[in-house]
């Protein structure tokens, strides 16, 4: 009944960049979760794609100094992307834009505590698909466990344990980031 797989998708065979940091390999391994983080932090597909591209650009030009013994590739890429996203958010705050109403992107995530919110979005992006899907269904979309079980075919007990471990991982990520910033 226990949830299968890792809660946080970090350890993969491709996680340590090989000499030369092959862009195609690293993109295929990490782009989806990186994009999810940027997209849900910025709520703008174009900006999110630009951020992911910028992240790989920074990683590529710093590849010689990256130490895979100090951080996994995904951790390293997330750290770069986090800074890129923060740059974009701050740039947006300084640069009011005038656009047609129907062309405006969705409002940015609530900005009362933008760094806290960014940590939560990053933590969600780092969850495995099955853990994130359970949390999103139950706690973001407001579905009941019974409704999700009916829709997905996953037993309620399994969904609950997935949510348990996902929320613990979220809590752990937020606590870690808070300690890192202290």
Partner 1 sequence: MTDPTADRRAELIAAAASSDLSPGEAAELDALRLADTSIDVEIAELRAAIRALDGLHWDDSAPGAGLRDRVVAIDTAPVVPLAPRRRWIIGLGAAACILAGVGLGLGAGALAPSGAGPQPGAPGALGALEHVEFEGQSSDVSIDGSLVAHTWGTETILEIDGLAAGDSYSVVLIGPGGESFDSGSFLGSSVTIDCRMNAAVERPDVDSVEIRDASGTVVAAAELPAVES
Q: If binding is defined by CB under 8 A, does position 79 make contact with partner 1?
A: yes
Residue from 12, 45, 150, 178 touching partner 1 (CB under 8 A): that is 45
Phi, psi of 98 (to 5 degrees): -110, 115
What is the nearest approach in angstroms of partner 1 to the Cβ of residue 102?
19
Q: If binding is defined by CB under 8 A, does position 171 make contact with partner 1?
A: yes
Nearest partner of 40 among 112, 138, 106, 127, judged by Cα: 106
Residue from 18, 139, 150, 178 touching partner 1 (CB under 8 A): that is 139
DSSP 4: P
Instruction: Provide the CB-side half-sphere exposure for 159 (13 A, CA).
Output: 21
Footprint of partner 1 on 103-132 (CB under 8 A): 109-110, 116-117, 120-121, 124, 132
Footprint of partner 1 on 24-43 (CB under 8 A): 24, 27-28, 31-32, 35-36, 39-40, 43
Q: If binding is defined by CB under 8 A, does position 8 make contact with partner 1?
A: no
Q: If binding is defined by CB under 8 A, does position 168 make contact with partner 1?
A: yes
Cα angle: 81, vertex 178, 68; to 5 degrees? 45
Cβ proximity of 87 and 21 under 8 Å: no
Footprint of partner 1 on 59-78 (CB under 8 A): 60-67, 70-71, 75-76
DSSP 103: G
Q: If binding is defined by CB under 8 A, does position 1 make contact with partner 1?
A: yes
Cβ proximity of 34 and 77 under 8 Å: yes
């Amino acid at each position: 009944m226990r949830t299968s797989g890792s809660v946080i998708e970090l350890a993969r065979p491709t996680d340590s960049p090989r000499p030369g940091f092959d862009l195609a390999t690293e993109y295929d391994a990490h782009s989806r979760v990186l994009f999810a983080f940027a997209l849900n932090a910025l709520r703008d597909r174009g900006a999110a794609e630009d951020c992911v591209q910028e992240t790989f650009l920074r990683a590529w030009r710093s590849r010689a100094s990256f130490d895979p013994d100090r951080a996994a590739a995904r951790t390293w890429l997330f750290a770069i992307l986090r800074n890129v996203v923060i740059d974009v958010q701050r740039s947006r705050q300084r640069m009011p834009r005038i656009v047609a109403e129907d062309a405006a992107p969705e409002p940015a995530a609530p900005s009362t505590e933008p760094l806290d919110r960014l940590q939560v979005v990053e933590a969600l992006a780092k969850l495995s698909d099955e853990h994130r899907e359970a949390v999103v269904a139950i706690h973001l979309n407001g579905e009941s466990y019974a409704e999700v079980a009916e829709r997905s075919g996953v037993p309620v007990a399994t969904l609950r344990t997935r949510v348990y471990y996902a929320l613990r991982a979220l809590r752990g990520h937020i606590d870690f980031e808070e300690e890192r910033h202290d």
